[in-house]
Each structure stands twice: as structure tokens, then as C-alpha cells.
Amino acid sequence: MLPTNRIPTHPGEILAAEFLQPMNLTQVALAEHLDIPIQKINEIVLGKRGITPAIAWLLAGAFSTSPQFWMNLQTNYDLAISRPSQSCQPILRSCTKLKIGW
């Protein structure tokens, strides 16, 4: 069972550890391959920028993954770090039956 109190790993860290390092690929080389600014890749790797849908499509093509893979990583991370400290109570609706005279 996975721990529920742990914040998921930022997608940029996964990009660096699971894709760039094993392939001996630099951030510069990836940015040039994707035709995007180097700063954008660097900020993603450092966790300062998230994965956008456009970047997810590019990474999916470059690494033979799916854009959903990258977006799921980002969504899980975003949900974990934005979780409110207090939970909201559910709205209770009372169901009343309408009397229909037939």
C-alpha cells in the first residue's frame, strides 16, 4: 500500500531521474530536440514549472510515452500540494417526493 501522506514526486524530478540521466541526455539537448527554450526544461527539472499539455505532448513523442503519463504526474503533484488543511462538509440534500395528482 502506498503512503497517503507523502507528496508525489514532481514530474521534473522524474524527467531527470528516469529519462534524462539513464539516456545520458542533457537538458540542453532535450530543449533543442523539442525546439523549446532551455530555461523551460531547466525550470521543469528544478520543480519551478509544471508540465503543460503542450509540453506533455512533446515529452510523449520524445520518450515514447503518452501525454496522459506526464499530465497524470503533474495532476497528482498539483492535487497533493494544493490539498486544503480543512475538509469541507458535504451538502446534504433532502429528497422530497412531489405529490402528483393523476
Q: Delineate the domains of the chain, giving CATH numbers in brackets.
A: 11-81 (1.10.260.40)
Grid cell of 15 as nine digits: 524527467
Helix and strand counts by DSSP (H, E) for the chain: 5, 0
Q: Does the pLDDT of residue 1 top 60, yes or no? A: no
| Rounded CA separation 36/30 (Å) | 9
Instruction: Examine the pLDDT at 2 and tell me if it is beyond 60.
Output: no
**Residues in contact with 50: Cβ distance below 8 Å, sequence separation at least 6, in sequence order:** 11, 44, 74, 77, 78
Model pLDDT, residue 67: 99
Mean pLDDT (the chain, rounded): 92
Separation CA 53–CA 38 (nearest Å):
18
pLDDT, tens only, 64-99: 999 999 999 999 999 999 988 888 888 887 666 666
Q: Are 44 and 55 in contact (CB under 8 A)?
A: yes
pLDDT digits (tens, 9 = 90+) for 8-37: 999 999 999 999 999 999 999 999 999 999
Question: What percentage of the chain exceeds 90 in pLDDT?
Answer: 75
Q: Is the pLDDT of residue 38 over 90?
A: yes
pLDDT at 18: 99
